[in-house]
Structure 1
Amino acid sequence: MLNNWLKIAFINYKKNWLSTLINLFGLTIGLTGFMLILMHWNDEESYEQWNPKKNTIYAFQQYNKKDNTYGPSISYPIADRAAKVIPEIKDYILFSGAGKGFKMTTQNKTVYQKDGMAVSENFFNFFPFKLVSGSFKDALKNENAIALSTKAAKSLFGKTNVAGENIKFDQKNYIVTAVYELPEGNTVIKPEFVMLAYEQLKNDKEGWGNFNYGCFFMLDKDADIEAVQEKLMKDVFIYRAKINAQGAGVTPQKYLELYGPQGSLLTPLGQMKLHGKAYWFGTGDFKTMMILFALSVLIVILSAINFINLKTAQASQRAKEIGVRKAIGSTKSELVLQFLLETFIICFTSYILSLALAELLLPSFNKFFDKKNHNE
């Protein structure tokens, strides 16, 4: 019986070849667009998922009420006071100069090494990369310490077991304290070398208005984020306004209005890439993502409606066939199953074609969205 149903189905596909092609084309294009956007969304959501501490690490964003905008920067004294007076904040790191590079010299060669980061000393408490050589303990305790990725170590020394080796750049001698392997998962935190921002931190220690850093706070697992944001306003931002207002010749309230911040936003590390308002490393565009996703769903729905309309138009042409089959003993349920089988074949074929088309279009799609292997 199934064999006969398949024969009848393919006879009708051949007879109505134009509508069959239109159905296949519409459903394939709709499903392909939906798959590509869904893959793009899943990829954006996957950033920093490798980090076991992602649910306790929050990126700081300051709010500017006047322009109704968010910024990713913070000053050293603001971050330091927040960690001291807000119990929910257990630790913090500051970073600057992401992407910086230097011409580095070892005993055997000179290499221009790029994609470095200048950070505060507890960087590896927040980003526990896989240790290959040396130790993360006290890895960034002094101004002459530097940690290298495996790629940078091989480029400079030709090997990865280089803890204790010397590097010279920026008119200083540095000692390699650790070699780490960057994670395989998607991440924007991928420095090829990490060094202590010693001079910058030293100069900015009392610079309340020097918003030169990005910041991550590590919070209690059960911390109330809204409460922490309120405490940042009350115990840190207003405190800053009070101690700086007199020197500026204005009231604390006026100082706060002029120089802010007038609020803050703490976003979990795992959500920062796509859902953050402002990020030191650049944020995704969630609004555009939702628009594209909605359009892809709409195309699939329109393709399905077009498929239904064409099938309905063909139904009257098959009245004689249905009458003959009922006359020779076919039941209503058998006829329904046959038509469902024909629909399933079209839909399944469209699905297979859309998988193939998505695979073909994926390199161009990734290039358009500037996606690549994030560990390269």
Structure 2
Amino acid sequence: MFRHYLKVAWRGFKRASVFSFINITGLTIGLTCSMLILLFVKDELSFDKFHEHGHQIYRVVSQSTFKGESKISSNTGLLEGPRFAAHVPGIRSFVRIEYDGTDFKKGTEVQSMNFFRADSNFFVFFSFPLIAGNPATCLKDPYSIVLSKTEAIRQFGSTDILGKTVLLKEDTTFKPYTVTAVAKDCPQNSSIRFNALSPIKVSAADEANPQNWFSSFLNTFVMLDDHANLGQVERQMKNYYFKDASVTFKSLLQQYGLSASEASMEDYRLQPIAAMHLDKAISSGNGISATSNPVYSYILSGIALFILLIACINFINLTIARSLKRAKEIGIRKVVGSNKKQLIIQFMGESIILCMISFCLALLLTELLLPLFNTLANKSLSLSYLLDAGLIASLAGLFALTSFIAGFYPALVLTRFEPTKILYNRFDVQGKNYLQKSLVVVQFTIASFFVILTFVVYQQFKFLTSADLGYDDNNLVLIEQYNAQPKGAIFQKMLSENPAIKEVAAKNGGLHSTLAKTSGGAVINFLSDMITPNFLDELKIPILTGRNFSPTNPTDSIDKILVNEAFVKEAGWTAPLGQKITITPEDNKVVEVIGVVKNYHYGSMNEPINPQVFRWQDINKLNAFYIKIQPGMSSAALNHIKTTYQALFPLSPYSYNFVQQSNKMQYSDIAKWRQILLFGGLVTIIISFMGLFGLSVLSSERRRKEIGIRKVYGASVGGIIRLLTTDYLKLVLLSLIIAAPITYMAAHKFLETMLYRIPLSVRLFIIPDLLVILLAFLTIYLQTRQSATVNPVKSLKND
């Protein structure tokens, strides 16, 4: 019996090869997308769950308030770990991790290294296996170092390297560190990823200084006892902290001129290590890999579900539409004794065979597409991830569900036909086709949703990457160097002598915040930028009122400042020139405003422009060089910059960034959204139009005689095409109308997350809708034109 069903199914596939191809292709694409997304979601959910005592490990995080603004941070100081472990019951041990990007020397070559420092119990606390070395003692010596397998091979060509030395830079000299262990490479689903690890160095004076409660620059992890109560531990942490640090906190408030209502003490809590990766409320830092937005997993899962649903809809629609061709087969089977159960088994069997073929092809396609998907998702997934009991069960469930959805309903419809009506051609298979039409509407509603949303995200990305930032970042190269030798002026002079270089200015590297008090008593937290006098001119940042620093007036570097518009607004000044502020952390240094700079986007356009103060600094004390290159002379300029840099700073690794490219990289998140939605939109469109093409073919075949009769009575080719296309185009148009409000809400929600955004105009909907209608028309037209031009004699000769 099984062999008979298999033979019948194979004959059916061969007779309807086009529709079998459409079904198999649609299901293959749907299953491939589902497999890829299952791999992605599995990886996201598995982060940091490989640690043996992971259920007991927590990261210390804190919440504080400054001037009414609440902030949650994962940064801690030196004291949280040792003092909480010593005074809070339930905390068994702690580990502090400090990111300390440094340089290492190999022969005469100097390179940067991804370098961490940690407490000596790091490899006992966490489950990072060692290839060689003792986990309990490898970090005891202050000048010991543990290398990852990849780093060991890169440095020495082998992992058998215990006792060998690595030269690491400390201040201005290189010191030897002894390799005491080699660790396996960190798993890709680990938030802590190191190439090299050395002991954290904390002096007794630092451990005793209570101000180190408030100097946050590392991550602290604690391990709780087996039966510790989390809520109780957090309350005891808070009580001890207030008891131990409140006096110091009050003195700091007084030092910075703040009141108790303007700033609060930290409210410490514990975050499970397994929750770090998907917790967007707490940003990562200090070398901990960036958190991921769990929304990505939800969106991707939704896309996979929609794509699979569309593929199943294609299967159902095409199977029912083809029922006319199989009607007599069903009638004859019923006449010779086949019952409903046997027919359902036959049609379900055909569905399962199709799904099995699609499933095997999907596995192959998944393997082929994994490199591209890894690039898209910034992952390193492999098909071996599928060799997991839970994931195999998920895939088996996916296969069973797809087979059932795609085959059960068509089987029920086809087995309801009455044999007498079938054999005498007195039946109407199609009826009014409400289900079929509804499924087409659902398909194109989903497809148009993706197309419109992709267009909105694309336009927003285009806006962010092409918007006026308030300064000129064209042909601008940034080089940062941290060599302590004061050679900035020489570097500037040597670069400026080359005709390929237009100008060189300098600034302090990174973003530095500090506090100041205005004459009116307002305390302002601002970004402090130390610059050379030509910095603003080089970047074409306008001065709205007042003047720039003048090289002919050396006192400008002592007590004069420039402020931006945001500072003026927060200070509440109407006449900013001549105003004085007191910089509290610098022994209450008083400085005077001589100019107001127009606001510019020094960071991402997803961040607000904060108060900013510019001060003149000697170029020899600055480390970020902004080099303006003559247009069309990048190659010559970069060669000269590299040669000059390496001659002046031989102990510092050379690297450069084009500022414009770095600015665009700030929007990698939205770029990922754009890629994900484009991927979903393309796949849904392809599957939907494949299904529409198949339905138009079947519709033309079903109405073959009607078309012939109409042509005999004088109907034109254009009229026939209009007749055959109108019904489906109405369904596509209806789907666009249904998709519009849904897409509007989704697009509005997306744009709300952007500080600067495009207006949600009608144009964003009309353009993609017209594209969908045009593609739908072309899909149907290609088939219907062929049917409309057939000689009516061929259509009617059998009647």
Instruction: Identify the TM-score tier after normalising by the shorter chain.
Output: 0.7 to 0.9
Q: 1:247-258 counterparts in 2 under 5 A?
A: 247-249=252-254, 255=260, 258=263
1:226 to 217, 227, 231: 231
**Residue 314 of structure 1 corresponds to which residue in structure 2?**
322
Secondary structure of 1:36's match?
helix
**Residue 54 of structure 1 corresponds to which residue in structure 2?**
54
| 1:104 lines up with 2:105 in the alignment | yes
Stretches of structure 1 that go unaligned for 5 or more consecutive residues are: none
Distance change (3 Å), C-alpha of 1:12 and 1:205:
farther
**Residue 2 of structure 1 corresponds to which residue in structure 2?**
2
Which whole-Å deviations, capped at 9, do the CAs of 1:92-129 have from their partners, x for residues lacking one? 1111125x232235xx8867462221122322222354
Shift of 1:282: 1.3
Shift of 1:81: 2.4
**Residue 282 of structure 1 corresponds to which residue in structure 2?**
290
Shift of 1:8: 2.9
**Residue 249 of structure 2 corresponds to which residue in structure 1?**
244
| Matches of 1:158 and 1:131, distance apart in 2 | 17
Secondary structure of 2:278's match?
helix
Distance change (3 Å), C-alpha of 1:18 and 1:73:
same
Give % identity.
27
Shift of 1:337: 1.2
Identify the structure with bigger relative contact order (alpha carbons < 8 Å, sequence gap 6+).
Answer: 1
Secondary structure of 1:5's match?
helix
Shift of 1:293: 0.8
Q: 1:210-225 counterparts in 2 under 5 A?
A: 210-225=215-230
Shift of 1:28: 1.9
| Matches of 2:160 and 2:10, distance apart in 1 | 65
| Matches of 2:328 and 2:176, distance apart in 1 | 88
- TM-score, L = length of structure 1: 0.84
- TM-score, L = length of structure 2: 0.42
Shift of 1:74: 0.7
**Residue 89 of structure 1 corresponds to which residue in structure 2?**
91
| Matches of 2:261 and 2:83, distance apart in 1 | 17
1:272 to 262, 272, 276: 276
Which protein has the larger Cα radius of gyration, Structure 1 or Structure 2?
2
Secondary structure of 2:375's match?
helix
Query: What letter is aligned with 2:231?
Result: E
| 1:367 lines up with 2:375 in the alignment | yes
| Matches of 1:344 and 1:201, distance apart in 2 | 71
Q: 1:155-194 counterparts in 2 under 5 A?
A: 155-157=154-156, 159-170=158-169, 171=173, 173-176=175-178, 178-183=180-185, 185-186=187-188, 187-194=190-197
Shift of 1:318: 2.4
Moved more, 235-244 or 22-31: 235-244
Matched-pair contact (CA < 8 Å) for 1:241–1:255: no
Shift of 1:40: 0.8
Shift of 1:258: 1.6
Query: What letter is aligned with 1:197?
Result: I
| 1:195 lines up with 2:193 in the alignment | no
Which whole-Å deviations, capped at 9, do the CAs of 1:68-95 have from their partners, x for residues lacking one? 5532211112333222221111111111
Matched-pair contact (CA < 8 Å) for 1:161–1:179: no
Query: What letter is aligned with 2:182?
Result: Y
Shift of 1:208: 1.7
| Matches of 2:160 and 2:6, distance apart in 1 | 65
Which whole-Å deviations, capped at 9, do the CAs of 1:239-293 have from their partners, x for residues lacking one? 534541144139xx964862543353412x3443334733332112212211211
Matched-pair contact (CA < 8 Å) for 1:182–1:190: no
**Residue 126 of structure 1 corresponds to which residue in structure 2?**
125
**Residue 71 of structure 1 corresponds to which residue in structure 2?**
73
Distance change (3 Å), C-alpha of 1:68 and 1:342:
farther
| 1:344 lines up with 2:348 in the alignment | no
Matched-pair contact (CA < 8 Å) for 2:60–2:220: yes
Stretches of structure 2 that go unaligned for 5 or more consecutive residues are: 383-799
Distance change (3 Å), C-alpha of 1:56 and 1:349:
same
Query: What letter is aligned with 1:283?
Result: T
Please give the root-mean-square deviation of Cα atoms over the aligned residues, in Å. 3.2
**Residue 143 of structure 1 corresponds to which residue in structure 2?**
142
Which whole-Å deviations, capped at 9, do the CAs of 1:336-369 have from their partners, x for residues lacking one? 2111111112222221222122111111000112
| Matches of 1:163 and 1:256, distance apart in 2 | 55
Distance change (3 Å), C-alpha of 1:205 and 1:30:
farther
| Matches of 2:353 and 2:331, distance apart in 1 | 23
